[in-house]
A = this chain, B = another copy of it.
Amino acid sequence: MEFIKLISVPSPTKIVLMVIDGLGGLPNPETGKTELETANTPNLDKLVSNGTCGLIDPISPGITPGSGPGHLALFGYNPVRFNIGRGVLEALGIDFDLQPEDVAARGNFCTVDKAGLVTDRRAGRISTGECTKLCQLLDGLVIDEVRLLVSPVREHRFVVVFRGERLIPAVSESDPQQVGIAPKPITALTPEASRMADVANQFINKAKAILAEHHPANMVLLRGFSQRPQLPTMNEVYKLKPAVIASYPMYRGLAKLVGMEVLGTGTSIEDELATLKDNYTSYDFFFLHVKGTDSAGEDGDFDRKVKIIEQVDGALLSLISLEPDVVVITGDHSTPALLKGHSWHPVPILLYSKWCRRDGVKEFSESACVSGGLGRFPATQIMPLAMANALKLTKFGA
């Protein structure tokens, strides 16, 4: 990354990175074809015919990435070195404006019995409405000059942000991960984190008192204490002026971590592409995120995933009509409907530019990308490739 920083130069060319979340799949046993292979995708196929393709490993072969590392890798950041904690990710997911010194933790409302032992780690999955009310009871507490900001997420899940000085997130979790035992006290993992542990334990005790009469949500469990990672911005590394177009908050949040500007957009793929068109002259790098494919994969809904890929294909014409210098289309990981979750399978990628070397592949699919000219490569190399094809990198060495 220091290396790319040395050779990157600003230029007026434009790059569009479209991430079809969870794009890669596994074959339907009845047809032998994956979701992408089943979908009718004339526009993707045309783009790959004029471009080049391959397969990416978001982290490395065999490793199933979460959304955080999956996207960091696409942006060219080492996803193992720059770890995003669960608390931070949860905060990004509700568009919470995390400050650099904030410590965020993921919270569950849970149920404890009279002896204080956990009987349900999710408090019977209370409604999001109930969760919102309970969060209001806890929000705004001040403990040892640390302000507690408690926000609902969904059902029993919430985020607590500790805002104050000298807070180090190196602390253990209170969630015992099983029922029948008491929540664990939070302990400092380094001497410097003792203040954080102390404040967190005080918060848990206050929450227990406040929630006493709110069975089944009469206690909280906290985990994933973390701070925003300190990432160099994409402007510093690549000298780009980057923007994100994503209807889901978490992806906007991830993009903000690397310094992208957030463009307001509607929820459909067409909305996102309209936003691209409206802002096309103001930026030179766009990260466009499509969520539906991943959700369908997670639900095990093969046919819905196929349909969303076809929607993306249909909407693609308005992207192509803008004539970006470089178009990259890929996913942050695979989400095969058969596995109902993220997986380790490499993800198809296509790259189109005037300067890419065509490889004769005529179809955008897992099988066809095996023979692509880009080969199989780590996702962190996408950005250097896209930058090169946009003529935004100078020669290394004489």
Contacts and interface: CB of A to CB of B under 8 A. Distances in A.
Given A345-B357, A367-B360, A375-B55, A398 B63 contact: no
Nearest to A83: B397
A320 to B, nearest CB: 19
Classify chain A: how many residues form its interface, as a range.
35 or more
Interface stretch (A15-23, A154-162, A376-384): A376-384
A80 interface: yes
Contacts of A232: none
A86 B397 CA distance: 8
Given A63-B393, A65-B397, A371 B373 contact: no
A230 interface: no
B396 A64 contact: yes
Contact of A66 (B27, B384, B396): B396
Interface of A: 3, 7, 26-27, 32, 34, 55, 59-70, 79-80, 83-84, 86, 89-90, 224, 338-339, 341-345, 355, 357-360, 366-367, 370-377, 381, 383-389, 393-398
B26 A357 contact: yes
Copies of this chain per assembly: 2
A395 B66 contact: yes
B396 A62 contact: no
Contact of A64 (B338, B375, B377, B395): B395
Nearest to A367: B360
Given A69-B396, A398-B66, A357 B27 contact: yes
A384 B83 contact: no
Contacts of A65: 395-397
Given A357-B366, A371-B370, A393 B64 contact: yes
A396 B26 contact: no
